Structure 1
Amino acid sequence: MKNPKVLQLGKFYPILGGVEKVAYDLMIGLSEQNVDCDMMCAAATGSGGIIPVNEHARIICCRSWFKAASTMISPVMIRTLRKTCGTYHVIHVHHPDPMAGLALFLSNYRGRVILHWHSDIQKQRFLLKFYKPLQSWLLRRADLIVGTSPAYLDGSPSLRKVRAKTVCLPIGTDPMRPDPEAVQKIRARYGNRKIVFSLGRLVPYKGFRHLVAAARYLNDDYVVLIGGSGPLRESLEKEIDNLGLQGRVELLGRIANEELPSYYGACDVFCLSSVQKTEAFGIVQIEAMSCGKPVVATRIPRSGVSWVNAHGESGLNVTPGNPQELARAIETIMEDEAAYRRYASGARERYNTLFSKKRMIENCLKLYRYEK
């Protein structure tokens, strides 16, 4: 099939996280290739509606009743998909999203289904018992199951019985394009110290308290900058005060989209300190790599994080939850100029080889066009 009509199905709009961003980027990238590709999702706020994107794409935003267990409850999605599903050759479902799975189950859709397995359900273990029959149906119904890394596909207990129909499609992003003037201003603001940058929601699985603690083992030549908002901000600020790290660790809050590339450009090393498998991939790693920044990340069991950051190539991976190892890895990269250049070059090369948005779109289109 040369140009199938595709629907990206699942999650929220406006974009709130990595899963939604992947669905949105696929819609945009495919439509720019003249492939008709819509995105149907639940409205995170407001009454929803149809949002035209370009001549080949639109966002079908379905009104939600409320949010429960990280899922927007949207009966409108069920009704809308049932009415329109027959117009699509491929429905690309983004998991985990029980609402999308239920809508597909009740739609009576007969076409091709691609299931994008972004992660196992980690937080809602109790509710998973009730969702599991629908999840099992979704795994059986899918013609193809897409994972974001070989490590996650191999390590997911939910995918063991369906490995024969899994394929790896790494997430890709547009390269970050820092503004040189803004980069210089950021570096000057911190006295041209060595900048360790991290970014993400301030929630437990991101492991930011370990990154804060790692600053104790770095000398005053370093400053740790953490971008993002979330419920742990107050406790992290107290930890910074208790450890006497004022001026050495700074919580930046939410960074505006137009400013973010320049923080990647200004930093010397990017650090992903996550400690749980909830962190399945770590898109922020590839954003940093696109700027040629070495990465320090963690070896989370059965997660794709340490596959994204190739140890000894694009950076170093350490034991989750170990501040001393985080600090030691940062110093190992920074204190040897030749090693730094090698990691920086490796990071940019790994991004160009595996994680560009262009590559993701091209490989996804091949999956859509493949016929058994």
Structure 2
Amino acid sequence: MKVLQFSKFYPPVHGGIEQVAFDISEGIAKSNGQQVDVLCVDPVGKRKDDEKHHYSIFREKIFAQLFSTPLSISLIFKWREIRNSYDVIHVHLPNPLAVLALFLFPPKGKIVLHWHSDIVKQKKLLMFFSPLQKWILERSSHIIVTSPIYGQSSATLQPYQNKIVCIPIGVDTHIMPLNEDLEQKIRSQYHDKKIVFSLGRLVYYKGMEYLIEAAKELPDDYVVLIGGTGPLIDSLKQKVSENKLSEKVILLGSINYSDLASYYKACDVFCLPSIHESEAFGVVQLEAMSFSKPLVSTNIPRSGVAWVNQHNETGIVVEPNDAKALANGIISVLNKSDVYSKGAKARFDTMFTKELMVQNIINLYSSLK
């Protein structure tokens, strides 16, 4: 069976969806009886390093963007050329350009949709895109969702419940480089503090302002480390300064991948303070769980975040947009840290490994024969 992963971007362009597409492609390439290729857009087009992979990556250059959606005429042409060479077309959504390509030139093979998220923010795009979205949903054989909550609560997916298959995202943190010197440096720097770690793009739906507010409610022997950058970096820095929290809240900026494991291992609790369903899953929670770290996250309607972090098992779930609830959750988790740490690692090992995700995907493909 030959499979095409149709992703918006692909590493080294990084993001949550891109990482899932990469992990699936790598996993399939190493399995027996399956072949895989990748089709995507790319800011620079073809990349020399693609030759090291045991499969083809068709990268088509972007010429413009519309409603934050990359456009590429060459991708349409490449799709038309290769579309009937595959038994399964695995489309990672949201990706309006991919849906347009499939609509213009339908394939002979089965279409599997990986529904990472509804189109939430781009209301104007959705207004024009809805007919195509309906077409691809009806044309698809199966729709993969990453949590049962999202599959059940998405208004768009309600008419297609018979097609839904839940396959949670899985990660492999064993490949993260271990930097014991940096880990010890972090622990030494905050040796008398309980370390709260958070990580993500500094955008509206991450709710980092509430975590900063929560720091005011935390005892003095707590420190909050926030990794990541984004459009809200300046306003968050200002918030830290205005609240005189420069010793208690540290904005780390972008953290190199080679350093991530050190922060996960050094922290006492991981906090995901997101406030909007644009946070559909929260992969960073999985990374923290793999290092046996307890979680504090939020109960976002129509999101799988609180399904990943099981309340009173892997950590504490609080209501979004509530700084005091976040602070109380952090303190409560650390009062039972050993229990939640064991629960987090056990749930990760049984639900969220990369190997399990890939095997479930391969099983789904096999059922399409």
Q: TM-score range by the shorter chain?
A: over 0.9
Structure 1 residue 39 corresponds to structure 2 residue 38:
yes
Give the 3-state SS of the residue equivalent to 1:158 in structure 2.
coil
Residue 170 of structure 1 aligns to a residue whose secondary structure is: coil
Q: Deviations over 1:184-214 (max 9, x none)?
A: 1111122341110000001110000000000
Residue 204 (structure 2) pairs with residue 204 (structure 1)? yes
Cα pair 1:15 1:21 within 8 Å, conserved: no
**1:49 Cα deviation from its structure 2 partner:** 5.8
Q: How far off its partner does 1:33 sit?
A: 1.3
Match for residue 344 of structure 1? Answer: 341
Contact 1:12 1:72 in 2 (8 A): no
Deviation at 1:94, TM superposition (A): 0.6
Preserved CA contact (<8 Å) 1:294 1:344: yes
Report how far residue 170 of structure 1 moved: 0.2
Equivalent in 340, 350, 358 of residue 361 of structure 1: 358
| 1:277–1:302 CA contact under 8 A, matched in 2 | yes
Mapped to 1, the partners of 2:233 and 2:167 lie a distance apart of: 34
In 2, Cα distance between the equivalents of 1:25 and 1:192? 38
CA distance in 1, matches of 2:14, 2:172: 18
* C-alpha separation in 2, matches of 1:181 and 1:203: 31
Paired with 1:171 and 1:153, the residues of 2 have a C-alpha distance of: 14
Q: Which amino acid aligns with 1:62?
A: E
1:144 is aligned with what amino acid?
Answer: H
Partner AA of 1:235 in structure 2 = S
Name whichever of 213-222 and 11-20 sits farther off. Answer: 11-20
* CA–CA distance in structure 1, aligned partners of residues 147 and 329 of structure 2: 24
Q: Distance in 1 between matches of 2:262 and 2:57?
A: 30
**In 1: Cα distance, 2:260 partner to 2:62 partner:** 31
SS in 2 for 1:11: coil
* Conservation of the 8 A alpha-carbon contact between 1:196 and 1:225: yes
Deviations 1:261-291 (A, max 9, x none): 1110111000000000000000000000000
CA distance in 2, matches of 1:29, 1:252: 33
**Aligned alpha-carbon RMSD (Å):** 1.3
Deviations 1:161-194 (A, max 9, x none): 0000101010000025543332111111223411
Q: Is the 8 A contact 1:30 1:37 kept in 2?
A: yes
Matched, 1:277 2:280: no
> Which segments of 5 or more consecutive residues in structure 1 lack a partner in the other structure?
none
Structure 1 counterpart SS, 2:7: strand
| Higher mean C-alpha displacement, 361-370 vs 187-196 | 187-196
Q: Structure 2 length normalisation: TM-score?
A: 0.96
What TM-score do the two structures reach when normalised by structure 1? 0.95
The farther-off stretch of 64-73 and 354-363 is: 64-73
Following the alignment from structure 2 to structure 1, what is the Cα–Cα distance between the partners of residues 183 and 64?
41
Equivalent residue in structure 1 for 2:82, among 69, 75, 84: 84
Offset, 1:53: 4.0
- Structure 2, unmatched stretches of 5+, are none
Identity %: 46
What does the per-residue CA deviation read over 1:139-173, in whole Å, with 9 as the maximum and x for residues that have no partner? 00100000000000011000000000101010000
Q: Contact 2:87 / 2:108 at 8 angstroms: preserved in 1?
A: no
**Who is 2:146 aligned against?**
148
Could you tell me which residue of structure 1 aligns to residue 136 of structure 2? 138
Give 1:261's aligned residue: 261
The count of corresponding residues between Structure 1 and Structure 2 is 364
Match of 1:60 in 2: 58
Q: CA deviation at 1:67?
A: 2.2
